[in-house]
Amino acid sequence: MGVTTGALGALATSQNSSAYAYSAGTTASALSSIIQGNTAQDLADGDAQTAREAAMEHAANLRKATRRTVGSARAATAGSGVALDAFSNIVTDDIQNRGAKDEATAVLDGERAAISAHLQGGLTKNASYATAGGELLKGAVYSGWKGVKNGDESGMRYSRTGADIRGRR
The pLDDT tens digits for 122-143 are 999 999 999 888 888 877 766 6
Model confidence at 103: pLDDT above 90? yes
Query: What is the rounded average pLDDT for all residues in the chain?
Result: 78
Model confidence at 156: pLDDT above 60? no
Q: What's CA 29's distance to the chain center, in Å?
A: 18
Q: Is the pTM of this model over 0.85?
A: no
Lowest mean pLDDT of 15-29, 35-49, 84-98, 147-161, name the range.
147-161
Lowest mean pLDDT of 26-35, 96-105, 146-155, name the range.
146-155
17-26 LR contacts (CB < 8 Å, sep 24+): 17/151, 19/142, 19/143, 19/144, 19/148, 19/151, 20/151, 22/139, 22/142, 22/143, 23/139, 23/142, 23/143, 25/139, 26/135, 26/136, 26/138, 26/139, 26/142
The confidence score (pLDDT) of residue 79 equals 87
Q: How many helices, marked H, and strands, marked E, lie in the chain?
A: 2, 0
The confidence score (pLDDT) of residue 85 equals 81
Residue 121 CB-half CA count within 13 A = 19
Residue at 48: amino acid letter: A
